[in-house]
Structure 1
């Protein structure tokens, strides 16, 4: 997703409103939308800078879908037209042959009127976008793509918990995931104050919920944790100052800070986070918020590796499953872009 595309909107005197009209076709086992699940057919186009795309990167890795779904990464900055493949040699995605993600959208919808967002799942044979419905995409990775999960993959969307999980994820999206944007892009003091109050009310609620249980749904990681984590990982480097979410830093919230570090130090989470790209995206692209495009040097990120002691709450991070293996060599985040992780990672 992009925060300067037409996928988002802001006005001078109203609250920030995100355009959530995504391409709702899905890749399913029965192929009812014309896109059947098929190993090697689709390419996940993501950007490490984007929290919504970071979700898809994490879920793909936790479930072990790397062999079934290839991944292309856009750079952290873009113009009003599209995310670009400037990280690849010659600035061209090696599988799709595109310079811009926009080309995959136009291959299916020549007059596509809305924002060119990541993540997007692209049908490689047609080189056209299949879906950009990021919330449904990761749930489908858990359910529709089960045949291609690695041995020991965790159950990220357990059927017995879906009712409560869905309600929780809606609340977290409204007040936290999108809530930070409603603060940062508020068009008036009144809309900012309202968004700020909702954000901190929900963060306090989450602080209480997680005080006595290791993860949002109990003893094992679920998609709900993935969705909250990508916002928490960006909180101190970006949202606290850039988006004026500054009642406290994440590192000043004892429970949420320990919870976030617990996840960061879990294989599949921290090893997908690129703090350098995150900061560059927000501070360079959001010229309405940061017209100088100066990227701050801080904060110090080494504290992400400090002990969290959440294991004292018990639980099994992957439930009956196992941790994912090391990242693919081509998908390793450059060491200089993040706090260094233990050698085993």
Structure 2
């Protein structure tokens, strides 16, 4: 009998999710006006040590609003990692700004102070810090540079719910921070996002932008174009239940990482995630694998072979400086970032969802061993 397919992600919804959703339905509060919205915003802000949380429809829109609200001028440059999701560059381009890409560290897959320093020009106005896969960016030197130069900081903590940097919560750094609540995140609302800030005026502006810039004194007269980016009470109800169990979620994720490590410890031909740095322990949002150069196939072929064995996978991010849409727009032409280019082609991640069983981890690891043999 063929074993069941192991999906790359299955969320865990075994807390108060059903109870809170039933309350929404029972009371009729299913729109963006319901009481769970404020509860979710306050709980996320509290978890990250922030004053304000502004819930939105997804993590990409969170970045759009966060960049727009900072009031940067057209043509200003924003430094970003090339190894990230398109949402980061898209938010910058849509705001009339210029994305400037930097390469990543080969071990943590995050942007580095050396890369950022080399990318600074007279037009640099902001840095978008993006924490990748399980370990945060080494923040202290980059934040020091930003403060010394007067640069704004956007912290994309989409993958870092519950993670810390030197003991301080990810999402607590920078002028604005953003989270995503897609089903593969440590806190999920199905779709959804959040912007966090300590700035009262900026929080008010973000709340207005996500609500079409309606005016309190005359609702349907608009001084500025905003977004309809409101989260629903149903989504927020899920979020409240998910934040309640966040410490347990982090424990589960780290246990998944340890189990994969034990199965793959002596396997040749791969680079596994770094378990810890001097500033953070890996939270294993996903369990990423990078094939060594002596493996005679790339990530795409490895994923195909794993799929044949019933194992779900996902590729690593594709570099921003190699994105056709951005190159057609004239951004990041003739650039090379060899570390990111290599891991984009030779990296993928194994099943990493919270509902993953020990048997599924063992099966996934064994399948990887077999395709490498």
Fold match by TM threshold 0.5: no
Report the TM-score when normalising by structure 1. 0.29
The structure whose Rg is larger is 2
Which structure has greater strand proportion? Answer: 2
Of the two structures, which has the highest relative contact order with CA contacts closer than 8 Å and spacing of 6 or more? Answer: 2
Report the TM-score when normalising by structure 2. 0.27
